[in-house]
Structure 1
Amino acid sequence: MMRRPLVPLLVLAVLAALAGCGGRANPDGRLPVVAAFYPLQFVSERIGGDLVRVVNLTKPGAEPHDVELSPRQVARISDAKVAVHLRGFQPAVDDAIEQNARRQGFDVSSAVTMLPSSEHGTDPHVWLDPTRLAAIGDRLAERLAAADPAHAAVYTSRAATLHQQLTQLDGEFSAKLATCSRRELVTSHTAFHYLTDRYHLTQIGITGIDPEAEPAPRRIAEVAADARRLGTTTIFFETLVSPKVADTIAREVGATTAVLDPLEGLTDPDADYFSVMRANLAALTTALGCT
Structure 2
Amino acid sequence: MKITAILTTAAVAAALCSCAGSETADTENGRIQVYTSFYAMYSLTSEIAGDKADVYNLCPTGSEPHDFEPTASDMAKLADADVFIYSGMGMEHWTKSISESLSGSDVIITEASASVPNTPENGDPHVWLDPENAYAELEAIANALTEADPSNSGYYSERLEDCRQRIDELDKAYEDAAASFASDIIITSHEAYANLCSAYGLTQMGINGVDNSEDPTPSRMAEIENFIKENNVKYIFTEPLSTSKIAETISSDTGCGILSLDPFEGNAEGKDYFTVMYENLDALKTALS
TM-score category (smaller protein) = 0.7 to 0.9
Note the C-alpha offset of 1:106: 0.4
Secondary structure in 1 aligned to 2:28? Answer: coil
Matched, 1:278 2:278: yes
Which residue of 2 is the match for residue 11 of structure 1?
none
Runs of 4+ residues deviating >4 angstroms: none
TM-superposed deviation, 1:97: 2.3
Of residues 108, 115, 126 in structure 2, which corresponds to 1:111?
A: 115
In the aligned structure 2, how far is the partner of 1:86 from the partner of 1:130? 14
- Residue 51 of structure 2 aligns to a residue whose secondary structure is helix
Alignment of 1:208-287 (within 5 A): 208-269=209-270, 271-287=271-287
Q: CA deviation at 1:101?
A: 4.8
The offset of 1:181, in angstroms, is 1.1
Q: Which residue matches 1:96? A: 98
State whether residues 118 and 133 of structure 2, in contact with CA within 8 Å, keep that contact through their aligned partners in structure 1: no
The residue that corresponds to 1:6 in the other structure is: none
Any idea what the Cα deviations from partners look like across 1:226-278, whole Å, max 9, x if unmatched? 22222110011111101111111122222111111111012423x22222211
The match for 1:8 is none
Contact 1:85 1:94 in 2 (8 A): no
Number of residue pairs matched? Answer: 265
Relative to structure 1, the CA distance from residue 203 to residue 26 in structure 2 (aligned partners, 3 Å threshold; closer, same or farther) is farther
Q: Distance between the aligned counterparts of 1:268 and 1:230, measured in 2?
A: 34
> Is 2:168 the counterpart of 1:167?
yes
Following superposition, the deviation at residue 26 of structure 1 comes to 4.5
Ranges in structure 1 where 5+ consecutive residues have no aligned partner: 1-14
Q: Which residue in the other structure is 2:288 paired with?
A: 288
Change (3 A) 1:273 1:82: same
Q: CA RMSD in A?
A: 1.9
Instruction: Give 2:177's aligned residue.
Output: 176
Aligned counterparts of 1:210 and 1:59: Cα–Cα separation in 2? 21
- 2:115, 2:137 within 8 Å by CA — same for their partners in 1? yes
Work out the percentage of aligned pairs sharing the same amino acid.
Answer: 34
Q: Describe how 1:167-206 pairs up with structure 2 within 5 A.
A: 167-206=168-207
Residues 178 and 116 of structure 1, relative CA distance in 2, 3 Å threshold:
closer
